[in-house]
Chains A and B, each alone.
Chain A
């Protein structure tokens, strides 16, 4: 009895030692290498984490004195959490792709470094090559902090077979809000019990705050002006936009009141919704999964065409050695060269962030065969920067709750938005100017 006990103790200790050895081995750095930690999110469906890993591996091969360790850290929100945690704990990552609206928060935490000198060293043409709409979320107080990488706009996907089924022209997507309502009414399919077999349109939840911005812009309003630090969640234009949503979800019941960002692309593929508002970033996923022809279109206009940009930017962090910052820039610069930008775009459906990326031969061929990938790029001429503010996570929750409450039929739109405005004013505190 005693002997077996001792033996099992020894086994336990041995196992622990082996385990510790293995893990330290896995984590051992190479000699004379600058090792960079790189947190990145994948905000859309599809095996994009693998693509990133492949690109990073290629960079590491080409750059023997720098090794980038890519750490997939979830969706945009969890990634921001991880970044926050790491920064607060005093060991920030070297590089991270963070959702574009988080820049003011990162600035408030003194977490990121300005990249003006690096950008200037690339020459004036370098910055100008980026689509201007994408740079709208890169500047604060005139300084440049964020390099665009995985950028998108929302687009409208429509199921051409479903359109044919109800007698709509499969090549003509809805162009206005009225069209949208009209088509959705015709496309919705209900079963005998009154439940919905197919929704007419789905305005995807999860990032419905992002989609809402676009609707408000389409209606001629603005939710937040970053430069002027003014917030108007309950403007008449915003209320009207929300009323339109509530009409679709509650009165006409042609759109689901709630959903998640990850659940709606499969819903579209499964034929559960005939039209879908979602990011251009899921385009590759849809192409690979959908068994029916579908189209990609601008978001229907209200008073005007308008759309917000979205996605993630590269940031380089403070409190890392200068050698790391320099190496980080080399990595970022590499990742946004026209060839890589093109590759990333083709693999995902995100818009290639630079104009010159579309001149890359592989890309030219690609978009000729797949013109849908150009829709989002074309929509950029109607694109605005995304709202951003310090404490953005809280602001986003407040807005989302208001939207969810309204589309859920619990609260009237104007009340929901007014409450949201009050809560947001409290959350943003002194930063806001009245």
Chain B
């Protein structure tokens, strides 16, 4: 039976000991304290977003009250409609979708190939080359934005969706994950496939990849969330609303209406964050497991 660190000694001790009523009370108190602690923590984490939600449906005049009102007097849903009048958030959404899927599509290819190579193939300099991937994993793109910007400029790709995707197409992190995953496939499976004459890409596609699907899925979720929220790189390589993504659109919107209309700002913020949050609500377990998996080594 699962023994948590909170379980009373009684449950883990050899049978024969009886439970006193004092212990019972202590157990209940501990339980309440636990829920109280977690409940308060959850509340603190939720408050910022909830506060934004209430602000997003208030009218402009209503937010200037000295004592915060949690319940809006009149629910002004039109704020959400107004946001679209001020900035083309539907275009921003489409761009974000394109960029995120574009990044993921190519990443899946590069990491599967590279991960497989590192896991199952023998070749010279394998260790050294793998270091290159490891280092990239820990080198944030923020460090090298200036040279990368100049590269994109020379390629004539400034202000395109492609520019927002390119630097992320190689993923040291994904390669690392895939190497781990492929390593864990039993050798017998591979040998059996070889016996059947299944080699190279076919081996990869038909036999190996299905084995690592959960890892690919986990990585996909992480990649989507990460790149949905990209900011600095899209900021410097895009200029016009035509290719702008949601996060940049929000920042620009902030500059436009900052101080003037908090209700619109909060509505825009809620809208920008809604897609991923809704997905999260439905797939909470998947998301959490993906991120957890990534933490395991």
Contact = CB atoms under 8 A, between A and B. Distances in A.
Direct contact of A and B (CB under 8 A): yes
A85 interface: yes
B151 to A, nearest CB: 12
A433 interface: no
B294 interface: no
Interface in B65-117: 85-86, 91, 94-95, 97-98, 101-102, 105
A26 B91 contact: yes
A72 B256 contact: yes
Given A85-B239, A270-B64, A49 B256 contact: yes
B266 to A, nearest CB: 14
A71 interface: yes
Contacts of A78: 255
B259 A89 contact: no
Q: Which label, helix, strand, loop or mixed, suits the secondary structure of the B interface?
A: helix
Contacts of A285: 260
Contact of B239 (A12, A42, A86): A86
Counting chain A CB atoms within 10 Å of each CB, which of B158, B209, B240, B257 scores highest?
Answer: B240
Contacts of A260: 259
Contacts of A89: 153, 158
Contacts of B158: 85, 89, 91
B206 interface: yes
Contacts of A16: 98, 101-102, 105
Contacts, number: 88
Given A47-B86, A89-B158, A15 B97 contact: yes
Nearest to A39: B239
A45 B252 CA distance: 14
Nearest to B66: A270
A269 B256 contact: no
Nearest to A82: B239
Interface residues of A, number: 44
Contacts of B153: 88-90
Contact of B242 (A12, A19, A23): A23
A12 B101 contact: yes
A132 B55 CA distance: 45
A367 to B, nearest CB: 24
Contacts of B227: none
A45 B213 contact: no
A175 interface: no
Interface in B226-269: 236, 239-243, 252, 255-261
Contacts of B91: 23, 26
B259 A266 contact: yes
A19 B98 CA distance: 6
Nearest to A20: B98
A23 to B, nearest CB: 7
A74 B252 contact: yes
Contacts of B161: 20, 23
21 contacts: A5-B209, A12-B101, A15-B98, A16-B105, A19-B94, A19-B95, A22-B94, A23-B94, A23-B161, A42-B256, A45-B257, A45-B259, A47-B260, A49-B86, A49-B256, A71-B241, A78-B255, A260-B259, A262-B258, A264-B259, A269-B64
Given A72-B256, A74-B252, A85-B158, 12 more contacts: A2-B210, A12-B105, A15-B97, A45-B258, A72-B241, A72-B252, A85-B236, A91-B158, A264-B259, A265-B260, A266-B259, A291-B61
- Which 3 interchain pairs have the tightest Cβ spacing? A262-B259, A45-B260, A19-B98
Interface of A: 1-2, 5, 12-13, 15-16, 19-20, 22-23, 26-27, 37, 42, 45-47, 49-50, 71-75, 78, 82, 85-86, 88-91, 260, 262-266, 269-270, 285, 289, 291
